[in-house]
């Protein structure tokens, strides 16, 4: 007995693992997207402030170069009413590091704080170099600083205090955190629902298999999913496998029952013959006849078992086939010659009409067995004075071999049953045989990737049609094989 539990633990469930992976990937994706948006917005705001401040620095640098500190002072007084100029911090630092001019915005606190926030020498004192530096002050306000070194060595510094963090970025961050949390929660619910729903057919397959293993009931089936994907195909193929196994087991049971029934008679005869031989041991002639009958019944049992093994091998796909080009006219001619004497004794006309050089790729021995069994079946059920006609034709890459008789035909209720092993219809109970001829035909034809079918001709008689893949191309000439008839 298996030690595995009937149910998979939740931590080993494929649905749980798929859900966790989906949840993690969705969460990471949401964090990455929202974080990227936040950084891009913050970067855009910073760039906007820096570009505006650098534009101002360019204006003041031109004024300082042309008119000195007085020009800078006049420019500030001229644009004092502008909020962008009123909020500016402007400082001019000489080459020796001393501040020659400084203008601090009213909202800034003290000069000491200013000197700490915007230290002397910011900009590395490199000639012809513009430095734009963002100096964080606290979580609510930032300083954007631009340092510009003029050709005469004087350093011009402009700075502005901004509240982008408090006014724009902080609310944006709160919104993104809320949206991200909602997205993560939704991802968790969606991951659980999708993974559980996607793996439901797999659980149903496992449940059905578990039920079959525990009860042995092969009638159980997985409910169809109606999905045109890999899961739907898995369910369909699993149900097909169950159906085929059920059919094989049912056929095996029926075959065993029929074998037990059919073997009982020859075994009884075999025992009776052996007893007769023992009882007539003094009479050599009678003992010899009894032993000959024993041999005959033994051969009959051996043929029955060999035929059953061939059918089983063909149905299992392990029947050995030696495929080679087979001439259909020659094959049919051989079978007609084989049954010519039997047909003559029964006053049955047997004839054939087959195109010349019609060829199939097949095992010649097995295909001859197929045609011979069909002809034997036709001769067996055709009354005296009847006809058996064999024909063949090629169409669309296939070769069709037809065997038609003028017998009683096959009742509709028996047309699906005649292919079963050891099956005999009511009209054939009195016929001597193994009841395996048509089963062998079907098994061998399907082993050659072909099909066999039967229907009744409206004029009377049964028509068996074997459809096989064609071999070499054949010309259209038709050869009529000689007919055999006894008057």
Out of 228-237, 262-271, 388-397, the most confident range is 388-397
Q: Could you give the 3-state DSSP secondary structure of residue 162?
A: strand
pLDDT band for position 55 (cuts 50, 70, 90): confident
Question: What is the greatest pairwise CA distance in the chain?
Answer: 156
**Domain-terminating residue out of 281, 316, 351:** 316
Query: Any idea what the CATH number is for the domain that residue 276 is in?
Result: 1.10.287.130
Q: Could you give the 3-state DSSP secondary structure of residue 12?
A: helix
**Mean pLDDT, residues 423-450:** 70
With 50 as the cut, is the pLDDT of residue 482 above it? no
Question: In 317-424, which ranges are continuous DSSP H helix?
Answer: 328-345, 364-381
Q: What pLDDT, on the 0 to 100 scale, is given for residue 136?
A: 54
C-alpha 118 chain-centroid distance = 67
With 80 as the cut, is the pLDDT of residue 317 above it? no
Dihedral over Cα of 420, 422, 423, 424: its sign: positive
User: Are 263 and 366 part of one and the same domain?
Assistant: no
Q: What pLDDT, on the 0 to 100 scale, is given for residue 152?
A: 82
Q: What pLDDT, on the 0 to 100 scale, is given for residue 204?
A: 79
Q: What pLDDT, on the 0 to 100 scale, is given for residue 259?
A: 66
**Mean pLDDT, residues 298-306:** 75
Q: What pLDDT digit, counting tens, does each position of 100-112 carry?
A: 888 877 766 544 4
Q: Model's pTM, two decimal places?
A: 0.47
Distances (CA, A) of 91 to 49, 54, 74, 104, 480: 18, 14, 14, 8, 119
- The strand pairing partners of 479, in sequence order, are 354
> Hey, how many other C-beta atoms are within 10 angstroms of the C-beta on 283?
13
User: Are 328 and 298 part of one and the same domain?
Assistant: no
Tokens linked to 439: 């089963």
**Domain-terminating residue out of 294, 316, 338:** 316
Q: What pLDDT digit, counting tens, does each position of 221-257 carry?
A: 777 777 777 777 777 888 888 887 777 777 677 666 6
**Domain-terminating residue out of 288, 316, 344:** 316
Tokens linked to 265: 């008679």
Q: What pLDDT digit, counting tens, does each position of 267-283 carry?
A: 777 777 777 777 776 67
Residue 23 CB contacts under 8 Å (≥ 6 apart), including other chains: 184, 187, 188, 191
User: Are 255 and 343 part of one and the same domain?
Assistant: no
- Name the domain count of the chain: 3
Q: What pLDDT digit, counting tens, does each position of 344-359 carry?
A: 888 899 999 988 888 8
For residue 402, is it within any domain?
yes
Angle between helices 437-447 and 364-381 (to 10 degrees): 150
User: Are 55 and 116 part of one and the same domain?
Assistant: yes
User: Are 376 and 407 part of one and the same domain?
Assistant: yes
Cβ(133)–Cβ(143) below 8 Å: no
User: Are 345 and 294 part of one and the same domain?
Assistant: no
Residues making up the chain, counted from first to last: 487
User: Are 330 and 453 part of one and the same domain?
Assistant: yes
With 80 as the cut, is the pLDDT of residue 374 above it? yes
User: Are 34 and 132 part of one and the same domain?
Assistant: yes
Residue 182 CB contacts under 8 Å (≥ 6 apart), including other chains: none
Distances (CA, A) of 250 to 219, 228, 258, 422: 11, 31, 12, 13
Range of the domain at 239: 230-316
pLDDT band for position 94 (cuts 50, 70, 90): confident
- The position carrying tokens 């007085």 is 70
User: Are 297 and 343 part of one and the same domain?
Assistant: no
User: Are 392 and 479 part of one and the same domain?
Assistant: yes
Complete edge-to-edge strand list for the sheet that includes strand 155-162: 99-103, 88-93, 155-162, 142-149, 130-136
72-94 core/surface letters (b: 16 or more CB in 10 A; e: else): bbebbeeeeeeeebeebbbbbbe
Give ∠ CA 193-235-217 in degrees, rounded to 5: 115
Query: Any idea what the CATH number is for the domain that residue 77 is in?
Result: 3.30.450
Mark residue 195 as left, alpha or beta (left: phi above 0; alpha: psi -120 to 50; beta: remaining).
Answer: alpha
With 80 as the cut, is the pLDDT of residue 447 above it? yes
Q: What pLDDT, on the 0 to 100 scale, is given for residue 387?
A: 92
Dihedral over Cα of 197, 198, 201, 202: its sign: negative
For residue 212, is it within any domain?
no
Dihedral over Cα of 36, 42, 43, 48: its sign: positive
pLDDT band for position 473 (cuts 50, 70, 90): very low
For residue 302, is it within any domain?
yes
User: Are 345 and 458 part of one and the same domain?
Assistant: yes
**Mean pLDDT, residues 154-168:** 75
Tokens linked to 217: 């009931």
Q: Could you give the 3-state DSSP secondary structure of residue 395?
A: strand
2 burial via Cβ count (<10 Å: 0-12, 13-18, 19+): exposed
Nearest to 37 by CA among 134, 165, 182, 175: 175
Out of 5-14, 383-392, 430-439, the most confident range is 383-392
Residue-averaged pLDDT of the chain? 76
Pairing status of strand 349-355 against strand 478-484: antiparallel
With 60 as the cut, is the pLDDT of residue 477 above it? no
With 50 as the cut, is the pLDDT of residue 125 above it? no
pLDDT band for position 196 (cuts 50, 70, 90): confident
User: Are 152 and 21 part of one and the same domain?
Assistant: yes
| Secondary structure element (H or E) that encloses residue 91, with its range | strand 88-93
- The position carrying tokens 């293993």 is 213
For residue 109, is it within any domain?
yes
pLDDT band for position 402 (cuts 50, 70, 90): very high
For residue 441, is it within any domain?
yes
% residues pLDDT > 90 (the chain): 9
Query: Any idea what the CATH number is for the domain that residue 376 is in?
Result: 3.30.565.10
């Amino acid at each position: 007995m298996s030690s595995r539990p009937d149910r998979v633990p939740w931590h080993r469930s494929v649905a749980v693992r798929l859900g966790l992976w989906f949840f993690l990937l969705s969460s990471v994706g949401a964090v990455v997207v929202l974080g990227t948006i936040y950084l891009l917005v913050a970067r855009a705001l910073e760039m906007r402030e820096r570009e505006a401040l650098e534009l101002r620095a360019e204006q003041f640098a031109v004024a300082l170069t042309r008119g000195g500190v007085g020009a800078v002072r006049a420019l500030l007084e001229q644009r004092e009413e502008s909020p962008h100029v009123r909020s500016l911090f402007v400082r001019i630092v000489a080459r020796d590091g001393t501040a020659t001019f400084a203008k601090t915005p009213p909202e800034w606190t003290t000069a000491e704080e200013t000197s700490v926030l915007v230290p002397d020498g910011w900009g590395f004192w490199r000639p012809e170099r513009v430095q734009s530096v963002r100096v964080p002050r606290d979580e609510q306000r930032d300083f954007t600083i631009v340092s510009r070194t003029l050709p005469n060595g004087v350093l011009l510094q402009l700075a502005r205090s901004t509240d982008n963090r408090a006014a724009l970025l902080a609310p944006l961050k709160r919104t993104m955190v809320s949206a991200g949390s909602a997205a993560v929660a939704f991802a968790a619910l969606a991951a659980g629902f999708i993974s559980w729903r996607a793996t439901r057919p797999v659980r149903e397959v496992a449940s059905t298999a578990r039920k079959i293993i525990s009860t042995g009931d092969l009638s159980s089936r997985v409910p169809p999913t109606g999905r045109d994907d890999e899961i739907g195909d898995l369910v369909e193929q699993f149900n097909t496998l169950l159906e085929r196994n059920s059919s094989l087991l049912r056929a095996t049971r029926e075959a065993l029952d029929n074998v037990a029934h059919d073997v009982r008679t020859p075994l009884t005869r075999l025992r009776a013959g052996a007893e007769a031989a023992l009882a007539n041991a003094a009479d050599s002639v009678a003992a010899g006849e009894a032993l000959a009958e024993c041999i005959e019944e033994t051969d009959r049992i051996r043929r029955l078992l060999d035929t059953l093994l061939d059918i089983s091998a063909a149905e299992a796909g392990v029947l050995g086939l030696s495929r080679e080009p087979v001439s259909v006219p020659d094959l049919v001619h051989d079978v007609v010659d084989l049954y010519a004497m039997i047909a003559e004794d029964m006053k049955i006309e047997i004839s054939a009409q087959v195109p010349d050089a019609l060829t199939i790729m097949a095992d010649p021995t097995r295909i001859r067995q197929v045609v011979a069994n069909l002809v034997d079946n036709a001769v067996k059920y055709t009354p005296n004075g009847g006809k058996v006609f064999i024909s063949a034709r090629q169409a669309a890459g296939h070769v069709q071999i037809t065997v038609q008789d003028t017998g009683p035909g096959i009742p509709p209720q028996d047309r699906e049953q005649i292919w079963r092993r050891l099956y005999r219809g009511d009209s054939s109970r009195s016929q001597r045989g193994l009841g395996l001829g048509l089963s062998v035909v079907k098994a061998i034809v399907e082993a050659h990737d072909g099909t066999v079918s039967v229907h009744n001709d409206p004029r009377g008689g049964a028509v068996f049609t074997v459809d096989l893949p064609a071999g070499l191309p054949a010309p259209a000439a038709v050869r009529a094989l000689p007919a055999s008839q006894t008057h």
